[in-house]
Structure 1
Amino acid sequence: MILMKDIIREGHPTLRQRAEEVKFPLSTEDKKTAKELMEYVVNSQNDEMIEKYDLRPGVGIAAPQVNIPKRIFAIHFDEHSGEDLSIIAINPKIVSHSVEKSYLASGEGCLSVDRSVPGYVPRHARITVKAFDIEGTEYKMRLKGLPAIAFQHELDHLNGVMFFDHINPDNPFAEIDNAVAVARETEE
């Protein structure tokens, strides 16, 4: 089970490297990693588990955040979020995206960043993605709103990019052209 002590923090070199493609069929180790990432995000949205294990809530976590530089992440929104998404994404890609942008009105957070970083993070408002599940089956889906933002946040982790890299350093709350604000309830 992944705990907060297992999540590497800002400044660790793994967070800035491009993660490696995963080979299929998945190794036992890669399957275990994928399942544990999903287990973390599910547990981190459960008040009892948060208290018992001192977890920080999150809707997504990527393998590089647990010092495994592979292209795997998990995203989960519980039934109270109003979103319906629970995926393990292996070797994910964005195959198309909208011109329109979106951003979290409250800014983004990250399990690997222990400080508040205020500012808007511009993301694509709608994306079409492809990835593989734990069985090696490719899937394609369209995402918008919070799930699209979460997917892009986690995909950034696989490319060595942190969310705050996207914030305008001169004016963190500068209006983003052609963008819509998205409200959220949980941290990435």
Structure 2
Amino acid sequence: MLMMENIVRDGHPTLRMVAEEVSMPPSDDDKQILANLLEYVINSQNSEIAERYGLRPGIGLAAPQINVSKRMIAVHLTDEKGELYSYALFNPKIISHSVEKSYLKSGEGCLSVDEPIEGYVPRHARVTVKGYDLNGNEVKLRLKGLPAICFQHEIDHINGVMFYDHINKEDPFKPIEGAIVIER
């Protein structure tokens, strides 16, 4: 089981690297790493398990965050309608996106960033993501709202990008014109 001490923190060089593609079909080792990422986000949202093991709650985790520079992400969250998005993906990529933007009103956080970094993070309002599940089957997802933001955040990780790279440095809370505001 992954613990907080397995998660590398801001400043670690792996977080700034473009991660390598995972060969398909995935090896047993790669499958185990990906399964561990999903297990962490699920466990971290269970208050009893999180308290027992000192896990910070998260809705997504990428392999570079555990010092594995491979293109793997896990996401576990519910949207505003209560629909569950629980995915562990190899080689996820955004294959299309809206011009329209959105952002989380509360800002974004990250398990690899200990201190809060305030500001609006502009994201695409809608994205289509393609990747491969634990068994190597192709998965294609059309996402909007919080799931779209979360997937973009995690895909940024495998490209060496941190969420705060998108924040307007001069005016972190400058309204993003025409963007959809996502409450969380």
- Give the TM-score taking structure 1 as reference length: 0.95
Give the 3-state SS of the residue equivalent to 2:84 in structure 1: coil
1:35 is aligned to 2:32: no
Once residues 19 and 113 of structure 2 are traced to their aligned partners in structure 1, the CA distance between those partners, rounded to angstroms, is 19
Pairwise CA distance, 1:79: 9.0
Identical aligned pairs, as a percentage?
60
Corresponding residue for residue 126 of structure 1: 126
Q: Which amino acid aligns with 1:142?
A: R
Question: 8 Å contact 1:42–1:78 — kept in the other structure?
Answer: no
Corresponding residue for residue 102 of structure 2: 102
What is the CA deviation profile of residues 161-181 of structure 1, one whole-angstrom value per residue up to 9, with x for unaligned ones?
000000000000001122011
Once residues 166 and 80 of structure 1 are traced to their aligned partners in structure 2, the CA distance between those partners, rounded to angstroms, is 24
Structure 1 stretches of 4+ with a deviation exceeding 3 A read: 78-81
Pairwise CA distance, 1:82: 2.0
Corresponding residue for residue 22 of structure 1: 22
Q: Report how many aligned residue pairs link the two structures.
A: 184
Pairwise CA distance, 1:78: 5.4
**Counterpart mapping for 1:51-66 below 5 A:** 51-66=51-66
Corresponding residue for residue 153 of structure 1: 153
**Runs of 5+ consecutive residues of structure 2 not aligned to the other structure:** none
**Counterpart mapping for 1:78-93 below 5 A:** 82-93=82-93
- Give the TM-score taking structure 2 as reference length: 0.97
Q: CA RMSD in A?
A: 1.3
Question: 8 Å contact 1:95–1:130 — kept in the other structure?
Answer: yes
Once residues 44 and 78 of structure 2 are traced to their aligned partners in structure 1, the CA distance between those partners, rounded to angstroms, is 10
**Runs of 5+ consecutive residues of structure 1 not aligned to the other structure:** none
